[in-house]
Amino acid sequence: MGRARSGYAGGMAVEATERPDTARRTDLELLDRWWRAANYLSVGQIYLMDNPLLREPLAPEHIKPRLLGHWGTTPGLTFVWAHLNRVIARDRQPALYVTGPGHGGPGVVATAWLEGTYSERYAHVPADAEGMRELFRQFSFPGGVPSHAAPETPGSIHEGGELGYSLAHAYGAALDNPELLVACVIGDGEAETGALAGSWQSNKFLHPVHDGTVLPILHLNGYKIANSTVSARIPQDELLDQLRGHGHRPYVLDGGFDGEDPMAVHARMADVLDEITAEIRRIRDRAAAQEAAGEDVQRPCWPVLVLRTPKGWTGPREVDGTPVEGTFRAHQVPLAEVRTNEGHRAQLEEWLRSYRPEELFDDDGRLRPELAALAPRGDDRMSATPHANGGLLLRDLRLPDFRAHAVDVPGPGAGPESATGTLGNWLADVVAANRENFRIVGPDETVSNKLQGVFTATDRQFLGERRPGDEHTAARGQVLEVLNEQLCQGLLEGYLLTGRHGLFNCYEAFIHIVDSMFNQHAKWLETSRGIPWRRPVASLNYLLTSHVWRQDHNGFSHQDPGFVDHVLNKKPEIVRAYLPPDANTLLSTVDHCLRSRDLVNVVVAGKNPGPQWLSTDEAVAHCARGIGIWDWASNDQGGEPDVVLGCAGDVPTLEAVAAVDLLRRHLPELRVRLVNVVDLMRLQDEREHPHGLPDRDFDGLFTTDKPVIFAYHGYPWLIHRLTYRRRNHVNIHVRGYKEEGTTTTPFDMVMLNDLDRYHLVMDVIDRVPGLAVRHAGLRQEMVDQRLRCRRYTREHGEDAPEVADWVWPG
């Protein structure tokens, strides 16, 4: 296969011209030494717990007992870093480095130490021999630092532990950061993931003037853990077609194979990066000129770099007669038995000495000054960029008063109104007041989720071809829509972690597509909270709508309320779940979420017009408590009730209130209390969750011995899981979604799951002592009423008038 050695690959191989420039040669020799220093430190981290500068021969006690780490990808990561530094220092170009293969943690820790940032963040790891010893020892060591580009790593917003999200993070970071260059190294393993494959279309959403630049660097080292990668095993033409098909102009650098001198590769890499940076400048200048001239800004063809270097480049070529460099065997720890096998140990020492540490570090173990001078200064260092510690750059949102958009609720049962529709009108104000740091993402559902109000204030940003007849679509806009939940999530994460704010709106069922991405973001936040130099970032806010109870069009496949269950497995400090029952409580909830920091807020709310229960003031008070008795729907008058009806979620609240209406009419003597829950975490123990209600308060609401019938939006077990330590838990009976559904009417859906008002009344009769015998007739009437509704619906195709037209009698 013919491979281009470097340069723009316009379908043919281009040989780079090496410039006979002595100064450049010297620069590149210095660069090579800096790179060798980074590699030396990387190998040291994987293997050594002592003797960091090899001042004595390597002995077993210098070697860590457990050898953990990923060498294979590391020299490529340090190579790119060193070369980017040359450009950044020269051009004073603010840059962020996104490490797709974040498991190459030693590499990015090493560069941070070389740039001095590591010692600034961690005083116990100074920039000298003692610091180097600690740097080595702590890596993948109990009580030390993780093996990945974790939150502990300066300069990182992306751990890369779960592959696939680098490119989306990079684009998210670039949005609204016109000065920023985001260099995104994508491993060829990562390139196989669906998330990464789908992220290539991000360039259709990047504005070439008002957003920054993303430079994807597809690093083909050819192998994953134990197998070749797909991208490395297709003809180069095919790969370049793919990249062109993704709207990029590919540049190719291929080097280091068959023992090629790294100096030759450095020269080509410097050339190709010069070409690329010049091309980026031309693109941005052209776009700025277009905009200045009032022309429509077109999507440019951004460069992409394909970088082929051997896996484990500069490491052992063979171990025990088996090839390692350039194979999958270089993935983790190439020499496995260094402590016990003298031959391996000698080979490690030879490997370490091959970087010539004496040329890199002075007698104190400090990086030699001529090398230290290579890195950019201060915040220009990629390891120190404030963009990778977004909380430093975070500005509070300007939040207009949501009361201006509140629904008028003269009394309970007003409306009907759409909760998300109401929210959309307020979000338009939020968008307008925060043009530079607030984005709404979602998979083509802004209108379907009834948030179209935002389009009075902004458009969908889209750099693909726009046509007459398109609605609310422009080259600039604060809404990003792409039918790819992973990409929505990745873009928003990148945006938040670099110090901005946002909201993800999504069909409730399909948010599970990002379960695993949520995990990673939650873990990032969990860890970041314990790192003093990381500043709090804006919370990740989910608005889940088009929910389980109202999938009239789509049916069973679109019904899954379990994302909250998934979220609650993460640490209580960072997760919140809200189920506002109507429009004003939704406004108050989202207002609260947009002010919060370092959390994941899940808000579940309906889009269909429904009854409104609380005025603005009542909503604000109710949301502040998160849980409370609705006096107007209770008749226990401050005394002890016979039964408590709990409810959480808009549809369950409607059914619970309608059940109260039935109970009042049929069993006026029964003392009923209705407790509505907005903040689900209030149900949990205060020792388990910061929002947890003290036992005394919980008992005050739900009693210690009375039956509780709880109508819940999602899977019933969640309520049990949250309340199992409560004194009255044994009496809590939960109705919720039990995985019954199809394309049917709203009331038929609640009936299918026994969450309907009639069934709640039956539950009350069954659970309140004495009622079952005395009111067997009423119970039968409820059974019959359910049958009537079912029959009516099957015959007429819509809900029976007595449920469809029901209103709270007030």
Residues ≥6 apart with Cβ < 8 Å to 774: none
The CB-of-715 to its own copies minimum distance in angstroms stands at 5
For residues 341 and 329, give the distance between their C-alpha atoms in angstroms, rounded to a whole number: 18
Helix ranges, 15-154 (H): 22-47, 74-91, 105-114, 117-121, 129-138
For 119, 510, 575, 576, 578, the CA distances from 569, given in Å and listed in that order, are 35, 19, 9, 11, 16
The CB-of-636 to its own copies minimum distance in angstroms stands at 27
The CB-of-547 to its own copies minimum distance in angstroms stands at 15
The CB-of-473 to its own copies minimum distance in angstroms stands at 7
For residues 663 and 678, give the distance between their C-alpha atoms in angstroms, rounded to a whole number: 24
For 616, 745, 777, 798, the CA distances from 795, given in Å and listed in that order, are 41, 12, 27, 8
The CB-of-603 to its own copies minimum distance in angstroms stands at 19
C-beta closer to its own copies: residue 487 or 768: 487
C-beta closer to its own copies: residue 101 or 116: 101
For residues 235 and 251, give the distance between their C-alpha atoms in angstroms, rounded to a whole number: 15
For residues 197 and 183, give the distance between their C-alpha atoms in angstroms, rounded to a whole number: 17
The CB-of-242 to its own copies minimum distance in angstroms stands at 3
- Which residue type is seen at 479? V
C-beta closer to its own copies: residue 575 or 583: 575
C-beta closer to its own copies: residue 271 or 459: 459
Side-chain-side CA neighbours of residue 744 (13 Å) = 22
Q: Over the range 406-422, which residues count as b (16 or more CB within 10 Å of their CB) and which as e?
A: bbebeebbbbebbbbbb
Task: Map tokens 């009516």 to a residue.
Answer: 792
Please answer whether residues 719 and 744 qualify as being in contact, where contact means their C-beta atoms are separated by less than 8 angstroms. no
Please answer whether residues 390 and 499 qualify as being in contact, where contact means their C-beta atoms are separated by less than 8 angstroms. yes
Residue 249, H or E segment:
strand 248-254
For residues 695 and 692, give the distance between their C-alpha atoms in angstroms, rounded to a whole number: 9
The CB-of-682 to its own copies minimum distance in angstroms stands at 17
C-beta closer to its own copies: residue 195 or 269: 195
C-beta closer to its own copies: residue 65 or 769: 65
C-beta closer to its own copies: residue 341 or 473: 473
C-beta closer to its own copies: residue 10 or 810: 10
Residues ≥6 apart with Cβ < 8 Å to 713: 547, 548, 549, 561, 579, 604, 648, 649, 650, 651, 652, 736, 737
The CB-of-623 to its own copies minimum distance in angstroms stands at 26
C-beta closer to its own copies: residue 56 or 238: 238
Tokens representing residue 631 in the block: 């006096």
Tokens representing residue 448 in the block: 């379907």
The CB-of-439 to its own copies minimum distance in angstroms stands at 16
Q: What is the DSSP letter of 313?
A: T
736: alpha, beta or left? (left if phi > 0; alpha if psi -120 to 50): beta
For 172, 185, 207, 299, the CA distances from 101, given in Å and listed in that order, are 18, 7, 27, 29
The CB-of-797 to its own copies minimum distance in angstroms stands at 5
C-beta closer to its own copies: residue 558 or 576: 558
Please answer whether residues 181 and 94 qualify as being in contact, where contact means their C-beta atoms are separated by less than 8 angstroms. yes
For residues 578 and 545, give the distance between their C-alpha atoms in angstroms, rounded to a whole number: 12
C-beta closer to its own copies: residue 138 or 434: 138
Residues ≥6 apart with Cβ < 8 Å to 304: 215, 216, 217, 218, 243, 246, 248, 249, 250, 251
C-beta closer to its own copies: residue 66 or 696: 66
For residues 341 and 346, give the distance between their C-alpha atoms in angstroms, rounded to a whole number: 9
Return phi, psi of residue 644, to 5°.
-110, 130
Please answer whether residues 347 and 316 qualify as being in contact, where contact means their C-beta atoms are separated by less than 8 angstroms. yes
The CB-of-744 to its own copies minimum distance in angstroms stands at 4
The CB-of-267 to its own copies minimum distance in angstroms stands at 28
C-beta closer to its own copies: residue 620 or 718: 718
The CB-of-426 to its own copies minimum distance in angstroms stands at 21
C-beta closer to its own copies: residue 360 or 718: 718
The CB-of-686 to its own copies minimum distance in angstroms stands at 17
The CB-of-355 to its own copies minimum distance in angstroms stands at 24
Helix ranges, 312-354 (H): 342-353
Tokens representing residue 315 in the block: 């490491």
For residues 810 and 789, give the distance between their C-alpha atoms in angstroms, rounded to a whole number: 24
The CB-of-700 to its own copies minimum distance in angstroms stands at 22
The CB-of-361 to its own copies minimum distance in angstroms stands at 24
Return phi, psi of residue 181, to 5°.
-105, 120
C-beta closer to its own copies: residue 108 or 670: 108
C-beta closer to its own copies: residue 262 or 490: 490
- Report the candidate in 316, 336, 333 with the shortest Cα–Cα distance to residue 325: 316
The CB-of-387 to its own copies minimum distance in angstroms stands at 21
C-beta closer to its own copies: residue 409 or 599: 599
C-beta closer to its own copies: residue 229 or 676: 229
Q: What is the DSSP letter of 83?
A: H
For residues 39 and 390, give the distance between their C-alpha atoms in angstroms, rounded to a whole number: 28
Residue 695, H or E segment:
helix 695-702
